[in-house]
Amino acid sequence: MKLIFLGTSAGRPTVARNVTAIALIFPEHQHRFWLFDAGEGTQHQLLRAKMKLNKLERIFITHLHGDHLYGLPGLLSSRTYFEGAGKLHVYGPPGLRAYLECVMLQSGAHLNYELEITEIEAGPIATGDEDFAVEADELVHRIRSFGYRIVERQRSGPLQLDLLAQRGIRPGPLYGRLKRGEDVVLENGETLRASEVVGPPAPGRIVAILGDTSPCEAAVRLAKDADLLVHEATFGTGMEEKAADYGHSTILQAAQAASLAKAKRLAVTHISARYDEQALAQQISEVRDVFPNIEAAFDFLELILPPH
């Protein structure tokens, strides 16, 4: 499981940074991926990252500002040309359906796959995915903006191969049943309980990806104990008043949210064009005493989330 940042600029693209889009990739599931926001030019970024739209299964839009949304219609249209592109689920705030229906109607776009649009509210999102649960909560911004919490479901523990060998049980179908937590009856009539030969279950990974937001309780709730928090940091430390005026956060406020949530790792994004890389690095170093495991995202940065 890994994240790729496809755009990390705030408001408008720069030479070095495109506007917001993040891909969450599942290599263990044929490299299928989910997309969080789709600013203008996102499909170009996907091409550069060598990612195919027929592997895209779900899109989550945080809010309807253009730097998070204007790349979506073109991306949906281009997906038509990818062989094997199945049903696509798109989630986002109220108003998303009207926006997409208007663009598609007025442009005469035709999709050769099923598109399902779900307008969300705060709370669990019924994605139907067996491996991950998704929850949304409303943040504080100039328009309605949401954050998403993605929780991998608990995975079964490892088989204790040495114990199975001692019992004379060779690799085969019984291994799979035991791994799934099923008790099995052996050839001698003895019942072997899965709990005897399977280790404790492993907790799933947690990722929190937030839309534009001022500091708020919802951001901390979504990021609670997260393996990775992705938080906007449009402004540098010391510009908290201006950040509040525009419904954004500073790098310091993002670090404080990660600390309050007891997140393990923080990546800040949505960086204002006023900061060059040297200034950004300085800002990051100044907040490490608040949250040490922080880094500034840049376009095409890949963050690996190993299993627990």
Q: What is the mean pLDDT of the chain?
A: 94
List 37, 67, 137, 227, catalytic entry:
67
Give domain limits for the chain.
Answer: 2-155+202-304, 161-197
Tell whether 68 is in a known binding site.
yes
Whole-angstrom distance, CA of residue 227 vs CA of residue 70? 30
pLDDT tens profile 133-183: 999 999 999 999 999 999 999 877 888 888 888 878 888 888 888 887 888
* pTM of this structure: 0.90
Output the pLDDT for position 281: 97
Predicted pLDDT of residue 27: 84
Q: Look at residue 277 and tell me whether its pLDDT is greater than 80.
A: yes
Give the integer Cα–Cα distance in Å for 277 and 254: 18
Helix (H, G, I), strand (E, B) or coil at 303: strand
Q: What is the pLDDT of residues 203-225, one digit of tens each?
A: 999 999 999 999 999 999 999 99
Digit-coded pLDDT (tens) for 74-89: 999 999 999 999 999 9
Start-to-end C-alpha separation, the chain: 11
The answer to whether 231 is annotated as binding is: no
Question: What percentage of residues in the chain have a pLDDT greater than 70?
Answer: 100
Of 48, 62, 95, 97, nearest in space to 76 by CA: 97
What is the predicted pLDDT for the residue at 207? Answer: 98
Torsion-angle region of 50 (φ positive above 0: left; ψ -120 to 50: alpha; else: beta):
left
- pLDDT score, position 59: 98
110 is in an annotated binding site: no
pLDDT of residue 168: 80
Give the model's confidence band at 303: pLDDT under 50 very low, under 70 low, under 90 confident, else very high: very high
d(CA 151, CA 167): 36
To the query of whether residue 67 is one of the catalytic residues in this protein, the response is yes
Structural contact between residues 59 and 90, judged by C-beta atoms closer than 8 angstroms: yes
Instruction: Establish whether 183 is an annotated binding residue.
Output: no
pLDDT of residue 164: 84
The pLDDT value recorded for residue 36 is 98
Q: Tens digits of per-residue pLDDT, 257-268?
A: 999 999 999 999
Average pLDDT rounded to a whole number, residues 117-133: 95
Binding site annotation covers 270? yes
User: Kind of pairing, strands 266-269 and 228-232?
Assistant: parallel
- What CATH number matches the domain at 2-155+202-304, 3.90.1170.50, 3.30.300.10, 3.40.50.300, 3.60.15.10? 3.60.15.10
pLDDT at 205: 97
